Chain A
Amino acid sequence: MVEEEKKKKSVDKASLELIDKACADEVNLAFDRAESMKPCPIGAVGSCCKNCGMGPCRVPLPKGKEETPEDKKKRRGICGATAETIAARNFVRMIAGGSAAHSDHGRGVAELFIAAAKGEAPGYQIRDEQKLLALALEWGVEISDRSNSDIAVEIGEIALAEFGRQEGELLFIKRAPLKRQEIWRQQGVVPRGIDREVVEIMHRTHMGVDQDYENLIQQGTRTALADGWGGSMLATELQDILFGTPAPVLSEVNLGVLKEDEVNIIIHGHEPLLSEMIVAVAREPEMIKLAESKGAKGINLAGICCTANEILMRHGVPLAGTFLQQELALVTGAVDAMVVDVQCIMESLPDIAQCYHTKIITTSPKAKMKGAVHIEFNEHDAVNGAREVVKSAIENFPNRGKNIRIPQEKHDLIAGFSHETINYLLGGLFRASYRPLNDNIINGRIRGVAGVVGCNNARWEHNQAHVAMVKELIKNDVLVLQTGCSAMASAMAGLMVPEAAAKYAGKGLAEVCETVGIPPVLHMGSCVDNSRILIAATAVVKDGGLGDDISDLPVAGAAPEWMSEKAISIGQYFIASGVYTIFGVTWPTEGSKEVTDYLFKDMEQMYGGMWAFETDPIKAAHLMIEHIDKKRKALGIDKARERVLYDMEMRRELDKV
């Protein structure tokens, strides 16, 4: 393979090494498919409607010339739907898909939570009483001398009811800054219930219903908020109570975490319900003994995608890689089982596994695959389910072939930066606080804060945009908060260790990081944990000194290599929460100038946040910094001010004015 071509596929050496091996092994990868199949240019810009049997109707912009009013009139579907309606329908359907994925995850957690509280889910227990008490205080659940189980049953039932709520407002809306809540009420986008908003989008985008792109996007916003401040936040909160709130933990990242002499089990997907149990079972002495009896030295767990982030944050289980490395993990020939749950799982896995010895094990009734073994997760018998999975991997260890190559690349990282931990690290146990962060933003050591999140996209050089953008931001004194595959990309580049501050960050940010003892890039978890970023931003607002709303803060968001509908939902709820958010790779409403302008310009008037699109990660980082500087100017903290110590005489002078 030509060196130049290889560089275009990934910035990661381990990935490049395995892409080469896959080529030699005649394994077809997502990288290859992306090369041989170009994206549909009409669908990519949201100009194709396939919502009824009269279509699909294609309404592309004219090629190579400005659209005339006559051309525009002709750009309609058979039902008369305009390019604006079609682009908006497609866009909000993406939001519905993303919101449904995050929220159905949240529902699964709520169901397990209730079962665990009732003692009907052996192996699960309340691990973080404090967070349980926090929710009880927030939702008015009586604490007194009730047992944790009693409180948890009531909390779980309230949480579960949020999904089917028909009217009123979601409970977590009240966590947002007061001004933000008022904006949402004025705009009519406070979610009534999580499922209701998703269903309403599916109704409104059915043939012949909502034909006003602004009205469609308003419902998209409400649905996205039902994700960020609803389903995702519920998932995060209940998982923290059940499995523990993340605290700083040292681990490793990249495919070099696989071990040649141990049973390698990869946990892949998004829901940590079964994987929590697999982590526990893999440490059982009888399992280790069984592995040894098969010639292995132990059991090595590693993760891919957000299930990986979940078990990293709470147990320090190493990360094998990002979304685009799932196939490559199999190409090592050293993975004895890949256990998958839901979301971002490539259907190519069983085919690739056939070239090696890997068992692909599906565990969710919602996500089965042809060619995989199915061991269904049952919360009432999760321990035995987990044992069956681990045993299956161990039994497969002797079947490994000789065609094994585990790359050497791996890097240390510190993860576990939940909102609670950041608050504690900044202020200590006796006066946890965001004050030091706010003070250092005000004094300019920290220019601002950026959330860089999202996926990999096979249409873009793997990890390139994440790493380039994050390096540029920290070089300019912007503290970066990350989740998902984006966090893994930075960790692989060595940005998630405290030493990275001196090496990569600007002087001001480096000083703060050194003082607090944190990396300049903080891993906040999985994609549902973007809700942690919302809470951190709210805490900054509430601590004071930086305006009274998230839209006043010198902050920005980005998903430079996005690909999933979940990313669109996340972007929309960040914008509706007041955050300038920039996406790379491709933009799904480019087929309609009106819809794109509405998202990129008008929304700022309504919500204080807006979308932007830029494929060059350095330019995108500069746009984020420009926005941060704009907010600093509006706050009056753009220039260093001389501090004057007032004596009594000067104070008396002040009183006279």
Chain B
Amino acid sequence: MDYKVVKKNAPGRGEVEILAETYEAGKPEGEDTGKWRQKLESRDEKLKYLQNGERYWYSDDWFGSEKRKTPA
């Protein structure tokens, strides 16, 4: 894909070239276009995704804002 570059003013550096939008023009076609969950095929992959991607609920070592000694 040919990347589009645009010029913009950067604070203290004058005009710089930056990467412009990288999406393809037009509309997506087909019902399956946005279906990302199919990328995970095996049960192991799905379970690992849950422990990582949905770590807020499914990981034992993630506490985020809720680190506390005694669970509610």
Contacts and interface: CB of A to CB of B under 8 A. Distances in A.
Contact of A134 (B21, B34, B40, B50): B50
A169 to B, nearest CB: 11
Nearest to A427: B53
Nearest to A542: B56
Interface string B22-60: 010001100101111101100100110110111011100
A538 B27 CA distance: 33
A247 B37 contact: yes
Interface in A537-573: 538-539, 541-548
A548 B34 contact: no
Nearest to B46: A130
A246 to B, nearest CB: 9
A248 interface: yes
Interface in A232-249: 244-245, 247-249
Contacts of B23: 517
Contact of B54 (A250, A423, A545): A423
Nearest to B56: A542
B14 to A, nearest CB: 21
A431 B31 contact: no
A182 B36 contact: no
B9 interface: no
A8 interface: no
A590 to B, nearest CB: 37
Contacts of A542: 56-57, 62, 64-66
Contacts of A181: 72
Nearest to B31: A316
A429 B46 CA distance: 11
Contacts of A546: 65
B11 interface: no
B71 interface: yes
A248 B34 contact: yes
Contact of B65 (A424, A427, A544): A544
Interface residues of A, number: 46
A475 to B, nearest CB: 23
B68 interface: yes
A177 B66 contact: yes
A137 interface: yes
Contact of A247 (B34, B64, B65): B34
A138 interface: yes
A423 B56 CA distance: 11
A207 interface: no
Given A133-B43, A544-B65, A247 B50 contact: no
Given A541-B65, A548-B66, A133 B50 contact: yes
Contacts of A503: none
B46 A129 contact: yes
Contacts of B56: 538-539, 542-543
Given A128-B37, A247-B34, A542-B66, A178 B72 contact: yes
Given A179-B72, A315-B31, A538-B56, A420 B37 contact: yes
A255 B36 CA distance: 30
A430 B54 CA distance: 11
Contacts of A118: none
A245 B50 CA distance: 14
B71 to A, nearest CB: 7
Contacts of A539: 56
B64 A129 contact: no
Most buried by A among B28, B37, B47, B68: B37
Contact of B35 (A138, A247, A517): A247
A343 to B, nearest CB: 26
Interface of A: 128-130, 133-134, 137-138, 143, 175, 177-179, 181-182, 244-245, 247-250, 315-316, 412, 416, 420-421, 423-424, 427, 429-433, 514, 517, 538-539, 541-548
29 contacts: A130-B49, A133-B46, A133-B47, A133-B50, A134-B58, A138-B57, A138-B58, A177-B65, A178-B68, A182-B72, A244-B35, A244-B37, A245-B37, A248-B33, A249-B33, A316-B31, A416-B34, A423-B54, A424-B36, A429-B36, A429-B39, A431-B52, A431-B53, A432-B53, A541-B66, A542-B64, A542-B66, A544-B64, A544-B65
The 4 closest A-B pairs by CB, nearest first: A432-B53, A248-B34, A178-B72, A542-B56
